[in-house]
Amino acid sequence: MKRGANILIKRKMGMTRRSFLMELGRRKGFRVESELSDSVTHIVAENNSYLEVLDWLKGQAVGDSSRFELLDISWFTACMEAGRPVDSEMKYRLVEQCQSPPLSTPELEMPAFIATKVSQYSCQRKTTLDNYNKKFTDAFEVMAENYEFKENEIFCLEFLRAASLLKSLPFSVTRMKDIQGLPCMGDQVRDIIEEIIEEGESSRVKEVLNDERYKAFKQFTSVFGVGVKTSEKWYRMGLRTVEEVKADKTLKLSKMQKAGFLYYEDLVSCVSKAEADAVSLIVKNTVCSFLPDALVTITGGFRRGKNIGHDIDFLITNPGPREDDELLHKVIDLWKKQGLLLYCDIIESTFVKEQLPSRKVDAMDHFQKCFAILKLYQPRVDNSTCNTSKKLGMAEVKDWKAIRVDLVITPFEQYAYALLGWTGSRQFGRDLRRYAAHERKMILDNHALYDRRKRIFLKSGSEEEIFAHLGLDYVQPWERNA
């Protein structure tokens, strides 16, 4: 059967019976929605004919009704008995027979939707930027970050998986029954959900937000080049704020950290979609001046449809026969000459063809890459204003912004795997690798997909082919915001 959401029409079913069936579905681990969406594929009715349901659909302003399977309530009860979706055989389907009296649309109220079981893997869910449970997911992300600062991976992942799942729900959780049967809902998670439902906020999350260590680590890790280990070191030295770190002349900072402090205000501010597009133009023009056939793709959050981010990632490959091992160095040298480069750190490739993929979920890839900071010039202000400023002895207005840019060079054969990995989201990638290992006995990373049973590498020329190898429905980039 097709996977998707299913709707229970209220008319002739009655409110009490419909409520009972909805709660039964939840207890069995099925998802309940409250409004019509593009994910609906099955419509369930009780004592309604095929034509009555069609008439109801017209009342809902549905243009094409052929995309739905129209089913009798017996299909739904069969699913409840089996504890899983059953095939929509002919005996369950509503079929056109004779004309029935038209259904009066005003008698209908908002229907409920019963969806197939929710997967524990975000790669089997579609997660857009429409988050109906932000108050919960924001709380979980604070908890996850706190555990990450404490290097407690187990609890960190528990909250990240719970946040990922709630982001995928097409409805707002308003009571504890709404999460019955859902995976990734551990005791800690449930306690926070219950408190937010009852009190409007979580005392545990509030406690973390006010915790001195958490606040210090939050500040330290906002600096480019600073991770948990360095934050721990600074905290033990008695430092608590970015200003205190800047003032401490005894600290030995790395080149990356020095750049992070030098351009701190710019780098902690959000990068807009317009700024990302402007940088994209610079990157593409520069790369193609050396390699005209090169394919330059923006990845990360902007490829997933986000309007803001903190940096911009680009994947570069060449589909033609010609490759240029010095391409990245040429690009960087040109930006230096143009006065656009504020910082760069090039990591040379250690990629070896047909090397077994890494089993580590968060392993970095072996491609040549550059972590850079570029100077993006802003639109010029009116000249008369500038002249007035100079006459008054005011500080010159900065007409550029420092932007974090990552460039990754990949061989064309590995492009699809690198594109999938660098698009994210981080949790989507984690679950994709976990699914490959646990459900398919395969190893996936940014370089390749290896079938452990057959002992072969599976070639893929596109993301769609990778999903097909894994036996998964393809998930569009903008549906990977897990």
Residues sharing a CB contact under 8 Å with residue 18, sequence separation 6 or more, in sequence order: 8, 10, 112
- Tell me whether residue 325 is one of the annotated catalytic residues: no
Q: CA-CA distances (angstroms) from residue 315 to 134, 299, 324, 368, 431? A: 31, 7, 15, 11, 22
Residues sharing a CB contact under 8 Å with residue 31, sequence separation 6 or more, in sequence order: 5, 113, 114, 115, 116, 117, 118, 169, 182
**324 known member of a binding site:** no
What count of other Cβ atoms lies within 10 Å of the Cβ of residue 68? 19
**Residues, the chain:** 482
Largest CA distance in the chain: 88
Which H or E run contains 242?
helix 242-247
Of 120, 223, 221, 203, nearest to 164 by C-alpha is 120
Tell me which long-range contacts 173-176 makes (C-beta under 8 A, separation of at least 24): 173/133, 173/136, 173/197
What was the pLDDT predicted at 324?
Answer: 77
Rounded Cα–Cα distance for residues 367 and 372 (Å): 16
Looking up tokens 């330290």, which residue turns up? 220
Rounded Cα–Cα distance for residues 443 and 258 (Å): 38
Task: Tell me the HSE value of 190 on the side-chain side, using a 13 A CA sphere.
Answer: 12
Residues sharing a CB contact under 8 Å with residue 166, sequence separation 6 or more, in sequence order: 131, 133, 136, 137, 140, 173
- Tell me whether residue 311 is one of the annotated catalytic residues: yes
Looking up tokens 């719970």, which residue turns up? 162
What is the dihedral sign for C-alpha 113, 117, 122, 124?
negative
Tokens representing residue 363 in the block: 């392993």
Q: Are strands 5-8 and 112-115 parallel, antiparallel or unpaired?
A: antiparallel
**293 known member of a binding site:** no
Rounded Cα–Cα distance for residues 275 and 210 (Å): 34
Q: Are strands 69-72 and 40-45 parallel, antiparallel or unpaired?
A: parallel
**311 known member of a binding site:** yes
What was the pLDDT predicted at 354?
Answer: 84
Choosing from 313, 365, 431, 445, the catalytic residue is 313
Task: Give, to the nearest 10 degrees, the angle between helix 212-220 and helix 228-236.
Answer: 130
Q: Which neighbouring-strand residues pair with 72?
A: 45
Amino acid identity of 373? I
What was the pLDDT predicted at 95?
Answer: 75
What was the pLDDT predicted at 34?
Answer: 52
Task: Give, to the nearest 10 degrees, the angle between helix 15-27 and helix 73-82.
Answer: 30
CB 279 within 8 A of CB 376: yes
Sequential DSSP letters for 105-155:
GGG----EEEEPPPPSSGGGS-B-S--TTHHHHHHHHHHHHHHHHTT-HHH
What count of other Cβ atoms lies within 10 Å of the Cβ of residue 318? 20
Residues sharing a CB contact under 8 Å with residue 113, sequence separation 6 or more, in sequence order: 5, 6, 7, 8, 31, 32, 33, 34, 35, 36, 37, 40, 170
Choosing from 311, 365, 431, 445, the catalytic residue is 311
Amino acid identity of 109? E
Tokens representing residue 153 in the block: 């991976």
CB 482 within 8 A of CB 431: yes
What was the pLDDT predicted at 17?
Answer: 62
- Tell me the domains of the chain and their CATH numbers: 5-115 (3.40.50.10190), 122-209 (1.10.150.110), 212-262 (1.10.150.20), 271-413 (3.30.460.10), 426-479 (3.30.210.10)
- Tell me whether residue 138 is one of the annotated catalytic residues: no
Amino acid identity of 385? T
pLDDT tens for the chain, 482 residues long, are: 334 556 666 555 555 566 667 677 766 666 655 555 666 777 777 777 788 788 777 777 777 777 777 888 887 777 877 777 777 677 778 876 544 444 433 333 333 344 447 899 999 999 999 999 999 999 999 999 999 999 999 999 999 999 999 999 989 999 999 998 899 999 999 999 999 999 999 999 999 999 999 999 999 999 999 999 999 999 999 999 999 999 999 999 999 999 999 999 999 999 999 999 999 999 999 999 999 999 999 999 999 999 999 999 999 999 877 677 899 999 999 999 999 999 999 999 999 988 888 888 777 899 999 999 999 998 764 544 333 333 334 456 889 999 999 999 999 999 999 999 999 999 999 999 999 999 999 999 999 999 999 999 999 999 999 999 999 999 999 999 99
Which H or E run contains 18?
helix 15-27
Q: pTM for this one?
A: 0.75
Omega prior to 19 cis, within 30 of 0:
no
